[in-house]
Amino acid sequence: MVRRLRGLPFAVLIAASLSAAAGPLHDAARSGDETLLASLTATGAPLEDLDHRGDTPLIAAAYAGQEAAVRQLLDAGARIDGRNDRGMTALHAAAYQGHAGIVSLLLARGASIDDRENKFGVTPLLVSAEENHLAVVKLLIDAGAQVDLPERHGYSPLSRSGWKENWEVFGALKRAGAKCQPKEVVGEWLRTRCMAFVE
Q: What is the pLDDT of residue 23?
A: 86
Q: What is the pLDDT of residue 173?
A: 98
CATH class as words, domain 10-195: mainly alpha
Spell out the per-residue pLDDT of the chain, length 199, in tens.
444 444 444 444 444 444 444 689 999 999 999 999 999 999 999 999 999 889 999 999 999 999 999 999 999 999 999 999 999 999 999 999 999 999 999 999 999 999 999 999 999 999 999 999 999 999 999 999 999 999 999 999 999 999 999 999 999 999 999 999 999 999 999 999 999 998 7
Give the start-to-end residue ranges of the domains of the chain. 10-195
Q: What is the pLDDT of residue 14?
A: 45
Nearest to 4 by CA among 151, 147, 155, 120: 155
User: Could you give the residue ranges of the DSSP H alpha helices within 32-176?
Assistant: 34-42, 57-64, 67-75, 90-97, 100-108, 124-130, 134-142, 157-163, 167-175
Q: What is the pLDDT of residue 22?
A: 60
